[in-house]
């Protein structure tokens, strides 16, 4: 479903190599789950709380993990992200066990039908939320100077430095915004899917495929890729096979890499 | 070119002697642990070639391990082919997969490459689980063959029925593969790998076909991981899809980094430490990933060169590559 | 036939025309200097010649063959060597290893030879090491073999990077500001080295800012501004050219 597109935007635009994003989303989903199910917190409130909570978690993670190693070779950052992923997944496995959980809210089972097409209510909410976030992000990046700084840093770090942009602060901000959005996504999408400690992996890969498909270095591309892939994935789920839909999406990414490495709208990303 | 210092040679010889003698004194359970450590060390060594020496971080080696294991299983069990041809076929097949995956994957750099390898591992995991007719699904496959008896020149034959014999079998491969990697890394070819790991752009500017070199490294690395998978299948007799789960790949990478990537001793030391100590402390398996993650995090922030790096820094004044 | 021939080369970056319809040629054995104000497109030109950037239009011919848009490692194999403005060496490797790596593109023995440590592989390694040593001697770094490249002075590292490119036996050597960031006393030594290289038969193409050096060394000078050549000729011809003077003293471009 268009679940994927929401996540893609959220993960992809900020160009921070944090593989743990998927797992942060997972954490948020569980957080929301417990808030709503165990503590009877209102769903919408939980949504807001989770976003903030993950944002704070993002700050903590940034200062514990990424800030200390920011000057190390790039690979170390990936390893750090990986370590974070392992910690989150391991922790979740231990705390929550391997059985899946259903995140139930009053209208989860509700279905709206119009014109022969029936959609789960929650999925509509997801789509709505995604559109809102996408638009907000787009406006932010394209219309504000802070957003422009973000885009500049993502495309060319050194150039941004030369222009006087405080790259480290922007990166930190990007990171935190990214985690906050993962929080939002977690509670938004949680009710629509099964909760498992490994639930973050699939969306992460789809998000990533969308970025490649849509084009490296282009925000519009990432968004377009996300939407297209989301559609393709749901079609694949329906007509081919649900289990292999991820494989299919991944296959598209590989084909893109082989034949058109820049993706649909990719720009030549300057590498020093 | 790094010269192999005499203390290193002594260290290796001691380690080898220890590895040979230890199972004779400790019980069966410990020997089986050592065997597993040896198998995963092979994966770590192969990953070291790709990551430690060529600078490409792959999170997908669990997939190659799984492919090797399942290839052996399917060829031996379903096609009723004997162990030895099946073993070499499984290794070759995994190498082929490595080659095919490497071609698109290595076109990417940085986080994109890492994610593609991760994606590959995830996909393989899905396929192994879902293609029930072919792979037996969650139940996996059973009936993996042990190596057929090898005729000895003095008459009689070398049998592989016992745990001890399997241990030495695996140890043989660990030593052989380590030796091959050692030679590769200290050759002119190895120099190109190391150059790529330090500065790929400069290597390319100097005329090195970086894509080709990376592909060579990647394929060999995948091949050896597949071999390890086949060895595991043979030892364990039963295999299941969670062998190829990407978390295994991350565990191996953690072992490698903790031990010290980019050194010959690193992968073995790291795997030993990360696998033996939890055993000794009787740590609950479900906490393993969490603990591995924490240890990895501590190391990557405070001691990225790993245990061997720490030793080097302690004992030497010269600058050595971490 | 000119060794290097560039015709109507252009490179567009988004809205910026970094190189614009540039045409020139370099004859075998010459020492050609490329000068121009900052931002004139000199380094971009080198990047285009060596395949780091693909031209938007135009052609590059080397020894009569079209090499437009080939990859960087291919241009090195064809015989074009190139150094960078920002000195690029493998800082964590030894000086000797750096020069050995420079020969990598000529290494014949592959994986099997390496694994088996065949006689051929071992011989080749010895040959490569010997050649590396003689190259270090040639550039004046003979005594620094075992040192880590990153510990050398800036000037020594520049010599090392030159040795590394020479290791590949180039026919054409592109040097991007070889005396950039180097002390006044050390410049003379580097100039001598460039002369030595030129005398050994290699055609040299130099990007430089130091006018006296350029005027005294070059057979031919090409002046770039705003991505195109505004003048070329012998040092004497260029020095008197009013366009050139205007370019240097006129409106400045942001780098």
Please name each of the domains of chain B with its CATH number. Answer: 29-146+158-315 (1.10.3470)
- Measure CB to CB from residue B191 to each of C104, C109, C150 and give the nearest one: C104
- Which range among A117-121, B196-200, B242-246 shows the weakest confidence by mean pLDDT? A117-121
Q: Of all helices (H) and strands (E), which one includes residue A32?
A: helix A21-33
DSSP secondary structure of B79-106: S---HHHHHHHHHHHHHHHHHHHHHHHT
| pLDDT attached to residue C8 | 87
**B100 or B3: which leads in pLDDT:** B100
| pLDDT attached to residue B180 | 92
Q: How far apart, in whole angstroms, are the C-alpha atoms of residue C200 and residue C134?
A: 14
- Neighbors of chain A by Cβ distance (3+ pairs < 8 Å): B
- Chain B interface test: which of A68, A79, A250 (most B C-beta within 10 Å): A79
Determine the average pLDDT of the residues in A8-14: 53
Residue A155 lies in a domain: yes
Q: In total, how many domains does chain A have? A: 1
Q: Residue B144 — pLDDT band, cuts 50, 70, 90?
A: confident
| pLDDT attached to residue C33 | 92
Neighbours of C56 (CB within 10 A): 15
Q: Residue C211 — pLDDT band, cuts 50, 70, 90?
A: confident
CATH number of the domain at C1-79+170-255, please?
3.40.50.300
- Measure CB to CB from residue B296 to each of A83, A89, A204 and give the nearest one: A83
Residue A262 lies in a domain: no
DSSP secondary structure of B111-144: HHHHHHHHHHHHHHHHHHHH-HHHH-GGG-EE-P
Inform me whether the pLDDT recorded for B41 exceeds 50.
yes
- Which range among A45-54, B191-200, C87-96 shows the weakest confidence by mean pLDDT? A45-54
Contact B304 A261 (CB under 8 A): no
Inform me whether the pLDDT recorded for C194 exceeds 60.
yes
- Which range among A141-150, B110-119, B251-260, C18-27 shows the weakest confidence by mean pLDDT? A141-150
Determine the average pLDDT of the residues in C147-156: 89
**B271 or A191: which leads in pLDDT:** B271
- Neighbors of chain C by Cβ distance (3+ pairs < 8 Å): B
Contact C90 B195 (CB under 8 A): yes
Q: How distant is the Cα of B110 from the closest Cα of chain C, in angstroms?
A: 18
Inform me whether the pLDDT recorded for B22 exceeds 90.
no
Report the Cα C84 to chain-centroid distance in Å. 7
Among the listed residues C155, C156, C154, the one whose alpha carbon sits nearest the alpha carbon of residue C145: C156
- Spell out which chain A residues touch chain B, with contact meaning CB-CB distance below 8 angstroms: 17, 19, 65, 68-69, 72, 74-76, 78-80, 82-91, 93-94, 201-202, 204-205, 208-209, 212, 216, 243-244, 246-247, 250, 253-254, 257-258, 261, 271
Residues from chain B that touch A76, judged by Cβ atoms under 8 A, are 300, 304
- Assess B101–C contact: CB distance below 8 Å, yes or no: no
Determine the average pLDDT of the residues in B168-188: 91
Q: How distant is the Cα of B290 from the closest Cα of chain A, in angstroms?
A: 4
Determine the average pLDDT of the residues in B141-155: 71
| pLDDT attached to residue A123 | 66
Q: How distant is the Cα of B169 from the closest Cα of chain A, in angstroms?
A: 32
Q: How distant is the Cα of A86 from the closest Cα of chain B, in angstroms?
A: 5
Q: Residue B122 — pLDDT band, cuts 50, 70, 90?
A: confident
CA angle (A266, A268, A269) in 5-degree steps: 100
Residues from chain A that touch B109, judged by Cβ atoms under 8 A, are 271
Average pLDDT taken over every residue of chain B: 84
- Chain C interface test: which of B185, B206, B319 (most C C-beta within 10 Å): B206
List, for residues C65-96, the tens digit of each pLDDT value.
Answer: 888 888 888 999 999 999 998 878 998 889 99
Q: CA dist B25 to B41, B256, B273, Å?
A: 21, 28, 20
Average pLDDT taken over every residue of chain A: 68
Report the Cα B102 to chain-centroid distance in Å. 17
Residue C119 class from Cβ within 10 Å (0-12 exposed, 13-18 middle, 19+ buried)? exposed
DSSP C106: G
Determine the average pLDDT of the residues in B159-180: 87
| pLDDT attached to residue A29 | 67
- Measure CB to CB from residue B126 to each of A68, A204, A246 and give the nearest one: A246
Residues from chain B that touch C111, judged by Cβ atoms under 8 A, are 184, 189, 216, 220
| pLDDT attached to residue C248 | 72
Q: How distant is the Cα of B127 from the closest Cα of chain A, in angstroms?
A: 8
Residues from chain A that touch B127, judged by Cβ atoms under 8 A, are 244, 247
Average pLDDT taken over every residue of chain C: 87
- Measure CB to CB from residue B292 to each of A79, A86, A94 and give the nearest one: A86
Q: Of all helices (H) and strands (E), which one includes residue C19?
A: strand C16-26
- Chain A interface test: which of B123, B194, B299 (most A C-beta within 10 Å): B123
| Residue A22 lies in domain | 3-95+118-197
- Which range among B44-53, C56-65, C129-138, C233-242 shows the weakest confidence by mean pLDDT? C233-242
List, for residues A227-261, the tens digit of each pLDDT value.
Answer: 777 777 767 666 666 667 777 777 777 777 666 66
Determine the average pLDDT of the residues in B107-130: 82
Residues from chain C that touch B319, judged by Cβ atoms under 8 A, are 92, 148, 150-151
Assembly ipTM: 0.86
**B145 or C35: which leads in pLDDT:** C35
Predicted structure pTM score: 0.86
Q: What share of chain A has pLDDT > 90, as a percent? A: 0
Q: How far apart, in whole angstroms, are the C-alpha atoms of residue B3 and residue B199?
A: 22
| pLDDT attached to residue A215 | 64
List, for residues A144-185, the tens digit of each pLDDT value.
Answer: 776 676 666 666 655 666 666 666 677 777 777 777 777 777
Q: How distant is the Cα of C234 from the closest Cα of chain B, in angstroms?
A: 31
Residues from chain C that touch B188, judged by Cβ atoms under 8 A, are 100, 104, 107, 109, 114, 121, 124-125, 128
**B135 or C250: which leads in pLDDT:** B135
Residue A126 lies in a domain: yes
Residue A232 lies in a domain: no
Q: Residue C164 — pLDDT band, cuts 50, 70, 90?
A: very high
- Which range among B215-229, B252-266, C231-245 shows the weakest confidence by mean pLDDT? C231-245
What residue of B is the nearest CA neighbor of A256?
B104
Contact C114 B188 (CB under 8 A): yes
From-to residues of CATH 3.40.50.300 in chain C: 1-79+170-255
Inform me whether the pLDDT recorded for A116 exceeds 50.
no
Residue A229 lies in a domain: no
Angle, helices B288-302/B246-259, rounded to nearest 10 degrees: 40
| DSSP H helix total and E strand total for chain C | 10, 10
Q: How far apart, in whole angstroms, are the C-alpha atoms of residue C82 and residue C92?
A: 21
| pLDDT attached to residue A270 | 36
A162: tokens are 């030369």
Contact B203 C101 (CB under 8 A): yes
Instruction: Number of A to B CB contacts under 8 A, please give it.
Output: 123
- Measure CB to CB from residue B289 to each of A93, A202, A261 and give the nearest one: A93
Residues from chain B that touch A244, judged by Cβ atoms under 8 A, are 126-127, 130
- Measure CB to CB from residue A76 to each of B107, B112, B300 and give the nearest one: B300
- Neighbors of chain B by Cβ distance (3+ pairs < 8 Å): A, C
- Chain B interface test: which of A63, A75, A158 (most B C-beta within 10 Å): A75
Inform me whether the pLDDT recorded for B18 exceeds 60.
yes
**C150 or A196: which leads in pLDDT:** C150
| pLDDT attached to residue A142 | 72
Inform me whether the pLDDT recorded for A12 exceeds 70.
no
Inform me whether the pLDDT recorded for B140 exceeds 80.
no
Report the Cα B59 to chain-centroid distance in Å. 12
Residues from chain B that touch C167, judged by Cβ atoms under 8 A, are 206
Q: How distant is the Cα of B99 from the closest Cα of chain C, in angstroms?
A: 15
| C-alpha distance across the termini of chain B, in Å | 15
- Measure CB to CB from residue B293 to each of A75, A78, A83 and give the nearest one: A83
Residues from chain B that touch C115, judged by Cβ atoms under 8 A, are 180, 183-184
C232: tokens are 């070329």
Q: How distant is the Cα of B205 from the closest Cα of chain C, in angstroms?
A: 5
Contact B187 C165 (CB under 8 A): no
Q: What share of chain C has pLDDT > 90, as a percent? A: 27
Angle, helices C95-102/C119-139, rounded to nearest 10 degrees: 110
Contact B205 C102 (CB under 8 A): no
- Measure CB to CB from residue C73 to each of B198, B210, B216 and give the nearest one: B210
């Amino acid at each position: 479903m268009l679940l994927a597109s929401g996540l893609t935007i959220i993960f992809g635009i900020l160009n921070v190599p944090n593989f743990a994003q998927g797992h942060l989303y997972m954490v948020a989903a569980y957080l929301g789950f417990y808030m709503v199910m165990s503590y009877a917190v209102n769903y919408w409130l939980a949504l807001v709380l989770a976003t903030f909570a993950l944002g704070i978690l993002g700050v903590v993670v940034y200062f514990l993990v990424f800030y200390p190693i920011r000057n190390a070779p790039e690979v170390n950052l990936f390893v750090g992200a990986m370590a974070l992923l392992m910690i989150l997944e391991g922790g979740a496995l231990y705390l929550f066990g391997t059985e899946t959980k259903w995140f139930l809210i009053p209208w989860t089972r509700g279905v709206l039908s119009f014109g022969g097409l029936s959609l789960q209510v929650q999925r509509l909410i997801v789509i709505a939320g995604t559109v809102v976030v996408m638009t907000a992000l787009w406006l932010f990046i394209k219309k504000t100077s802070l957003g422009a700084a973000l885009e500049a840093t993502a495309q060319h770090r050194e150039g941004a430095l030369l222009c006087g942009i405080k790259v480290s602060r922007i990166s930190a901000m990007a990171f935190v915004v990214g985690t906050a959005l993962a929080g939002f996504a977690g509670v938004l999408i949680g009710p629509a899917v099964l909760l498992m400690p490994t639930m973050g992996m699939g969306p992460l890969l789809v998000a990533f495929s969308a970025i490649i498909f849509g084009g490296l270095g282009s925000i519009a591309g990432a968004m377009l890729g996300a939407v297209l892939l989301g559609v393709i994935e749901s079609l694949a789920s329906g007509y081919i096979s649900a289990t292999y839909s991820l494989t299919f999406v991944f296959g598209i990414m590989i084909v893109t890499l082989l034949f058109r490495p820049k993706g649909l709208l990719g720009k030549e990303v300057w590498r020093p | 070119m790094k010269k192999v210092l005499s203390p290193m040679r002594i260290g290796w010889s001691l380690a080898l002697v220890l590895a040979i003698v230890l199972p004779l004194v400790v019980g069966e359970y410990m020997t089986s642990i050592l065997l597993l450590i040896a198998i995963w060390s092979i994966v770590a060594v192969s990953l070291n070639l790709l990551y430690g020496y060529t600078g490409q971080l792959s999170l997908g080696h669990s997939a190659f391990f799984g492919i090797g294991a399942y290839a052996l299983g399917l060829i031996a069990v379903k096609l009723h082919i004997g162990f030895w041809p099946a073993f070499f076929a499984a290794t070759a097949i995994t190498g082929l997969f490595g080659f095919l995956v490497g071609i698109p994957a290595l076109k990417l750099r940085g986080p994109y490459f890492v994610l593609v390898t991760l994606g590959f591992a995830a996909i393989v995991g899905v396929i192994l689980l879902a293609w029930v007719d072919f792979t037996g699904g969650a139940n996996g496959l059973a009936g993996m063959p042990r190596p057929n008896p090898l005729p000895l020149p003095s008459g009689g034959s070398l049998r592989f029925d016992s745990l001890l014999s399997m241990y030495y079998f695996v140890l043989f491969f660990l030593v052989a593969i380590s030796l091959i990697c050692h030679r590769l890394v200290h050759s002119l070819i190895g120099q190109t790998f190391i150059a790529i790991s330090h500065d790929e752009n400069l290597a390319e500017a100097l005329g090195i076909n970086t894509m080709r070199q990376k592909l060579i490294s990647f394929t060999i690395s995948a091949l050896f991981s597949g071999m390890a998978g086949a060895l595991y299948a043979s030892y364990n007799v039963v295999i299941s899809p969670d062998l190829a789960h990407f978390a295994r790949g991350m565990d191996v990478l953690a072992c490698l980094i903790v031990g010290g990537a980019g050194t010959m001793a690193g992968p073995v030391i790291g795997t030993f430490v990360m696998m033996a100590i939890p055993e000794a402390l009787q740590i609950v398996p479900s906490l393993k990933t969490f603990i591995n993650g924490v240890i990895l995090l501590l190391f990557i922030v405070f001691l990225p060169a790993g245990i061997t790096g720490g030793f080097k820094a302690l004992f030497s004044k010269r600058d050595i590559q971490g | 036939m000119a060794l290097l021939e560039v015709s109507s080369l252009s490179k567009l970056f988004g809205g910026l025309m970094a190189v614009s319809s540039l045409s020139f040629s370099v004859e075998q054995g010459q020492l050609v200097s490329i000068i121009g104000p900052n931002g004139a497109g000199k380094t971009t030109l080198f990047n285009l010649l060596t395949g780091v950037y693909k031209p938007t239009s135009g052609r590059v011919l080397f020894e009569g063959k079209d090499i437009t848009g080939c990859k960087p490692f291919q241009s090195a194999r064809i015989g074009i060597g190139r150094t960078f403005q920002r000195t690029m060496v493998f800082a964590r490797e030894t000086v000797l290893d750096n020069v050995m790596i420079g020969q990598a593109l000529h290494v014949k023995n592959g994986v099997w030879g390496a694994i088996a440590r065949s006689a051929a592989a071992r011989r080749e390694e010895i040959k490569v090491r010997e050649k590396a040593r003689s190259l270090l001697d040639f550039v004046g770094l003979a005594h620094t073999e075992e040192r880590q490249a990153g510990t050398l002075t800036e000037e020594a590292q520049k010599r090392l990077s030159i040795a590394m490119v020479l290791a590949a036996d180039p026919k054409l050597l592109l040097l991007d500001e070889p005396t950039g960031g180097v002390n006044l006393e050390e410049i003379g030594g580097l100039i001598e080295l460039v002369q030595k290289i030129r005398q050994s038969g290699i055609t040299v193409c130099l990007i430089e800012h130091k006018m006296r050096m350029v005027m005294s060394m070059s057979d031919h000078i090409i002046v770039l501004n705003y991505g195109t050549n505004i003048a070329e000729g012998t040092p004497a011809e260029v020095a008197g050219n009013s366009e050139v003077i205007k370019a240097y003293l006129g409106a400045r471009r942001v780098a």
